[in-house]
Structure 1
Amino acid sequence: MKVLLEQLTTLHGPCGYEQPVSKWVRDTVKPLVDEVTVDSLGNVIATKTGRASGPIMVMTAHMDEIGFIVKKIENNGLIRFEKLGGNDDRFLLTQKVQIRTKTGLLTGVIGSISAHYAKFDDASRVRNHRQLYIDVGAKSKEDAIALGVQVGNPITWYPSMDYLGNESTGRFVGKGFDDRAGCAVLIQVLQELDESGFAGTLTAIFTVQEEVGLRGAQVAARQVKADVAIAIDTTAVSDTPEETMDDTLSIGAGTGIKVLDFSLISHPSVKEKLIQLANDKEIPFQMEVFPGIGTDGGAMSLANHGIPTGVLSIPSRYAHSPVEVIDMKDLVATKDLLKAFILSLNSNSQFSFIDGE
């Protein structure tokens, strides 16, 4: 999955501007499924029919990443910007970014005063993003426009993916793991299911605009009638020494089986099935209770007459920054448990709210 992850995180696709990702995902999964479409919002919906009768299952992950958008070009060529998704102003200073223009990609940097001026400034001050600017080397507004900069150009962190430490750690640092890592899991499962029989119908939905309110999932969920759904996303761990951290979720300890977040209380029968499979197949997992996030699972659970929904979470450090960190063991555990869930389904599979009914 390392290669998949590298390919996915290189792509430029912040909220609402996921076109390069939608196209790449569509073309990549097309040989693996029976049908693939891209809806008017940009969601990629891929369907594969199993060898036996069984339930209709949805698995989903979001393609968008947090980013920015060009708001104004100053006369001196510096660029003002707005946020797309949940960026933290504390992370912004002196970070490299990439602006997508009609003529190509531009490298920029979010500017800051030199360290030599710090003694004349308030060192504790965190400037609002609207006070900041991006420098692309332009000497004037006209120069920036000649480079292709326009109001409305989408912006992401500059792409990178490296081993954290070295190969022996099994951990990676880069941008966009939220949720290109989930997309990699879905694609890997589709590749492996090409060799494994399963029952029922499997629909993989790669959604857009998750980071601005689960918008893509809300649209996509209305297009499918499913018996069960599993969303795959990253989640913030709490295993570092800050005073707000409670060490309830750790990187490298396995996939997170969600109990609840602010968008979803996991369906009891789906959650219990995931726990049972993880125990039976000795897949490392940890339980996740974290009201600080939401996922596409929340939108899926409310679709149509309600879809029994669970979530598998890939533990991540430094979420929504250019240096997100994940562990390959967690990524593989997430993939293995999702695949085990799919392969466990048969014509008798039901996910009732009340046991035995």
Structure 2
Amino acid sequence: MDKTKTIERIMRISDANGISGFEDEVLSVIREEGKDFGTFTEDRMRNLYLWRKENIEGQPVVQLNAHTDEVGFMVKAIRPDGMLEFITIGGWIPTNIPAHLVRVKNQEGVYIPGLVASKPPHFMSEAEKKAPLEIASLVIDIGAVSAEEVINDYKVGIAAPVVPEAMCTYNEKHDILMGKAFDCRVGCSSVLSTLEELEGQKLAVNLVGDFSSQEEVGTRGSIVSANTIKADIAIVFEGCPADDTVVPAYQAQTCLKKGPMLRHIDSRMITNPRFQRFALDLAREYGIPVQEAVRSAGSTDGAPIHLSNDGIPCIVIGVPVRYAHTHYGISSYCDIENGIKLAIEIIKRLNESVIRGF
């Protein structure tokens, strides 16, 4: 695998703007990156499908899923003083939001800079300083002084999508990526890299890349994509919240630089235990580091996928992401690489008989 090319791909996809329902820019980058690997189709949910060019009619279908949307915000109202009230898109903790730069998409399709602002401490009462932070007390300031300026000069209206302002960087010495939307743009990149590494190889299965929309607001896109692809088996790539800095070491199951995480359960899916064991055994056979996790919360596109049609065996290959659902995430390239390696070895071993055994 070409490391430089892979990192550049991750950067391009990460930097693209695309909250839930507004993933168009992300899809444009994916189309450019994957144009040599097969044929693209798109549905009205903005799910993007990449059908491998070497597919042979009649073979079992493997769905390679990753979602394209990122958490962000949407303009709710424009105050007379030019401040923008907003709602959250996806799961946010209020204390992670203020004093960060954002990009606000105006009606001409241009993203303009803004700052998430709150009442300065100089003007707060003691009661206000001690009160829990609420989204309603925050605004986005784009530098305007009136609602008229916002609408007429900045061309910003209500329902404008807003994304975090962050550019992806890579520290080669420490093998660390920092940037926004690693949940799940590292997954999108991994789907493309998996298809790229298998290019020209003879397989006993057909591959479909599924770049689904609106995962962050209820795994909505994959409900449609699962019924479109009608796969026999699925691998979901995900950027998963790392826990190595927030729980005792003995509880940590999603640590940086210890390999991708394969969950046995989360709030909406019990992973097919036979497919899960198959994947874990292959990781051990090929010396690919992996982590196992039992999760009581959270979910992925695996939730609707594994319940679609007559039930689809599904595993999740999760790349640890520190500080997911904030402006910046931290991931390690080695975890991304090992997730791709595992997916490749799984796909090479799959055939109709093996899949039927799950």
Matched, 1:126 2:132: yes
- Taking the aligned partners of 2:255 and 2:348, their CA distance within structure 1 comes to 28
Q: Structure 1 counterpart of 2:346, which letter?
A: F
**Residue 158 of structure 1: which of 159, 165, 186 is its match?**
165
- Taking the aligned partners of 1:247 and 1:102, their CA distance within structure 2 comes to 45
CA shift, 1:154, in A, is 0.3
Correspondence 1:187-266 to 2 at 5 A: 187-241=192-246, 246-266=251-271
User: 1:26·1:38 contact (CA, 8 Å) conserved in 2?
Assistant: no
**Secondary structure of the residue that 1:348 maps to in structure 2?**
helix
Matched, 1:141 2:147: yes
Correspondence 1:61-72 to 2 at 5 A: 61-72=66-77
**Residue 279 of structure 1: which of 284, 297, 315 is its match?**
284
User: 1:235·1:314 contact (CA, 8 Å) conserved in 2?
Assistant: yes
CA shift, 1:350, in A, is 2.3
- Taking the aligned partners of 1:78 and 1:137, their CA distance within structure 2 comes to 8
CA shift, 1:30, in A, is 2.8
- Taking the aligned partners of 1:183 and 1:210, their CA distance within structure 2 comes to 13
5+ unaligned residues in a row in structure 2: which ranges? 1-5
Deviates more, 1:86-95 or 1:106-115: 106-115
**TM-score, normalization by structure 2:** 0.92
- Could you tell me which residue of structure 2 aligns to residue 22 of structure 1? 27
Q: Structure 2 counterpart of 1:209, which letter?
A: Q
- Could you tell me which residue of structure 2 aligns to residue 47 of structure 1? 51
User: 2:263·2:294 contact (CA, 8 Å) conserved in 1?
Assistant: yes
Deviates more, 1:332-341 or 1:52-61: 52-61
**TM-score, normalization by structure 1:** 0.92
5+ unaligned residues in a row in structure 1: which ranges? none
- Could you tell me which residue of structure 1 aligns to residue 99 of structure 2? 94
CA shift, 1:223, in A, is 1.0
Q: Deviations over 1:39-87 (max 9, x none)?
A: 0110001111547774211110000000111111111111000111111
- Taking the aligned partners of 2:204 and 2:181, their CA distance within structure 1 comes to 33
**Secondary structure of the residue that 2:308 maps to in structure 1?**
coil
User: 1:49·1:201 contact (CA, 8 Å) conserved in 2?
Assistant: no
- Could you tell me which residue of structure 1 aligns to residue 3 of structure 2? none
- Could you tell me which residue of structure 2 aligns to residue 324 of structure 1? 329
CA shift, 1:206, in A, is 0.3
- Taking the aligned partners of 1:179 and 1:154, their CA distance within structure 2 comes to 18
Q: Deviations over 1:118-140 (max 9, x none)?
A: 68564443321122100000111
- Superposition RMSD in Å: 2.0
